[in-house]
Amino acid sequence: MTISRLVVRLNCLSFFLVALLIIFTQLSGLKVSDLFFHPYFSPNPNVALLTRTFQILCSLPVIVCTFTYKLAQSIQPRTSENRFILFSAFLTGGFLLNEIYRIHIYMVAAGIPKLGVSLLYAVVLSSYGWFFRRELQLTPYQILLAGLGLLFFAIGVDSLHLKNQIFSSLLEGVPKLFSEINIAFYYWYVCKCFLQKAFYKNIESYL
């Protein structure tokens, strides 16, 4: 199965599951926007369910990249690919911390303009893309770009402050969720291929 077909099937399955969850939530008497609340205790498991799912997905690239880097260091230390995996772990780890602790909100509250915060994050992403452009070009980076595009779309919807809460939650929450589904899949696939390549090289060196 090609990587493009795998990505399409993953997104179609995820969309089907999200649609079922939305229907079930409405039938249970909750609002669709309840799925995207910030996590807090509730006797109903549907409340903030997709927000928690998004946070779990955010942790996957950090775990996968960190594990891959430590393993790769023992196989082929001091290579550019290792640095790419390491800084990918730092980048995704920073995003995870921002999502959990809402660092960008504290920055805005401290007097930093929202546009300035967005530009800061854009500079970090651009620097990552520039320094590792060669490594990225050897991967299906289109998946990563699609995930980032969905994320920025969700951020743009959030900045509009739409009055319809249900429409706003769907238009922001669903693209944000799918952005991390694609980003998590991208880093999982890249790390898998990277380790397979490293193992094969290591085996060939002993033959």
- Cα 200–201–202 angle (5° rounding)? 90
Question: Tell me: the pLDDT tens digits for 75-113?
Answer: 887 778 899 999 999 999 999 999 888 888 888 888 888
Given this model, what pLDDT does residue 102 score? 82
Whole-angstrom Cα distance, residue 195 to residue 111? 44
Q: Which of 38, 61, 37, 9 shows the shortest CA–CA distance to 165?
A: 37
Stretch 2-7: mean pLDDT, rounded? Answer: 87
pLDDT band with cut points at 50, 70 and 90 for residue 201: confident
Whole-angstrom Cα distance, residue 123 to residue 118? 9
pTM of the model: 0.89
- Cα 98–104–107 angle (5° rounding)? 130
Q: Out of 3-7, 10-14, 89-93, which region has the weakest mean confidence (pLDDT)? A: 3-7
Identity of the residue numbered 129: G
* Token pair of 38 as six digits: 């910030």
Find out whether 185 and 143 touch, Cβ atoms under 8 Å. Answer: yes
The three-class DSSP label of residue 111 is: coil
